[in-house]
Amino acid sequence: MAEGIAAIGECMLELSGQSGANWRMGYAGDTFNTLWAMRALSPGHHVDYVSAFGDDPFSQAQIAFFREHHIGIAQSPIIDGAKPGLYAITLTGAERSFTYWRSEAAARQLASDPTKLAKSLENRALVYFSGITLAILSKEARRTLLAAIAAERAKGCHVAFDPNYRPRLWPDAGAARDAVAEALEVTDIALPTFPDEEMLYGDASPEATAKRLEHAGVAEIVVKNGDQPALISHYEKLETVPATHVSDPLDTTGAGDSFNGAYLSARLLGIPPVEAVKRAHRVAGAVVRVRGALAPFDLLRLAFDR
């Protein structure tokens, strides 16, 4: 029985917690943040972060950080001379903005070796990727990635996808829509965020987003909407689940990613979608009370099990 979990994408160096000239360095990226939550909440599953890494000291430290937290890298290639991407978080209250240095990041070569990529996805209960995963790849690399995912899905692996639209990563909205449409063809569980879908597709409501994804053939959909209720479509049955109210958020970085990780962990445990969303809301509510994208495992577990 397949029990592994793989998330695919880019984990960057994260600079956060600015105090004058002092910054704290960590590791984060949308799909890695989700895998981090799943590592905390899915202890019975081996987890791997599938990407590409450099051979510099920062990349070596990143891989060591993964290993320390029992996160593997499967057969991800190590690229001579490459380095990880970098971003810095600046906060206004609890709301964050980002500055990126990522155009030559090693992760852009994650599909450079199709054989290693295929091996990295073998024997998985779940594979997870996002629109950012697609955006950092060339068209040819996206085709290689989606073919590898489709091959594992045909063997019984479940596939989860968050469109996670970031305009600056795409040449234009049409290119993003085309790539997302191809990804939805291999998707079992879609985890979109309504403001992103509104921006990319002009959706009038979360219900419109859910209906559009249903028509694309996705059986299970959770439309996130910040501190508003999440909308679930499970085989076209619609239900809403209120968000967890947080009166004193400290940093919203990684909240939606952690929601995804908690939801997917719950579904792997056989928990029905409504209860899975309730747990995911609680986990996201806990994450916004800490700085940076990665909350301590114990905090995530406490919120998930409460």
Tens of each residue's pLDDT in the chain, 306 residues: 567 999 999 999 988 766 677 888 899 999 999 999 999 999 889 999 999 999 999 999 999 999 999 999 999 999 999 999 998 888 776 667 788 898 889 999 999 999 999 999 999 999 999 999 999 999 999 999 999 999 999 999 999 999 999 999 999 999 999 999 999 999 999 999 999 999 999 999 999 999 999 999 999 999 999 989 999 999 989 999 999 888 788 778 889 999 999 999 999 999 999 999 999 999 999 999 888 789 999 999 999 998
Number of domains in the chain: 1
Give the amino acid at 148: A
Query: If you compute the radius of gyration of the chain from its CA atoms, what whole number of angstroms results?
Result: 18
Residue 280: give its domain's CATH number: 3.40.1190.20
CB atoms within 10 A of CB 256: 24
Task: Record the pTM.
Answer: 0.95
Residue 175 lies in a domain: yes
Catalytic residue (one of 48, 162, 203, 257): 257
- Rounded distance between C-alpha atoms, residue 127 and residue 106, angstroms: 21
In angstroms, rounded to a whole number, what is the distance separating the alpha carbons of residues 290 and 274? 26
- Terminal-to-terminal C-alpha distance of the chain: 29
Provide the pLDDT for residue 18: 64
Read off the DSSP letter of residue 108.
Answer: G
Whether residue 104 is contained in a domain is answered as no
Establish if 86 belongs to a structural domain.
no
231-240 long-range contacts (CB < 8 A, ≥24 apart) are: 231/206, 231/207, 232/273, 232/274, 232/277, 234/273, 238/207, 238/210, 239/273, 239/274
- Would you say residue 105 lies in a domain? no
**Owning domain of residue 180:** 4-10+29-51+111-305
Confidence at residue 38, expressed as pLDDT on a 0 to 100 scale: 98
Do residues 161 and 183 lie in contact, with contact meaning Cβ atoms separated by under 8 Å? yes
Question: In terms of residues, how long is the chain?
Answer: 306
pLDDT of 93: 66
Look at residue 117 and tell me if it is in a domain. Answer: yes
- Inside any domain, residue 64: no
**DSSP type of residue 242:** P
Our measurement of the distance from residue 156's CA atom to the centroid of its chain's CA atoms, rounded to an integer in Å, reads 21
How distant, in Å, are the alpha carbons of 42, 50, 131, 206 from that of 100?
31, 21, 17, 29
Cα–Cα distance between 176 and 142 in angstroms, integer?
Answer: 12
Residue 262 C-beta-side C-alpha neighbours within 13 Å: 31
Amino acid at 82: A
Neighbour-count burial of 104, counting CB atoms closer than 10 A to its CB (0-12 exposed, 13-18 middle, 19+ buried): exposed
Amino acid at 183: A
How many angstroms separate the Cα of 71 from the Cα of each of 23, 36, 299? 25, 8, 18
How many CB atoms within 10 Å of residue 147?
A: 14
> Between β-strands 53-54 and 158-162, what pairing exists: parallel, antiparallel or unpaired?
unpaired
CB atoms near residue 10 (< 10 Å)? 26
Alpha carbons 115 and 37: distance in angstroms, whole number: 28
Task: Examine the residue annotation and report whether 257 is marked as an active-site residue of this protein.
Answer: yes
Does 124 reside within a domain? yes
Do the domain assignments include residue 290?
yes
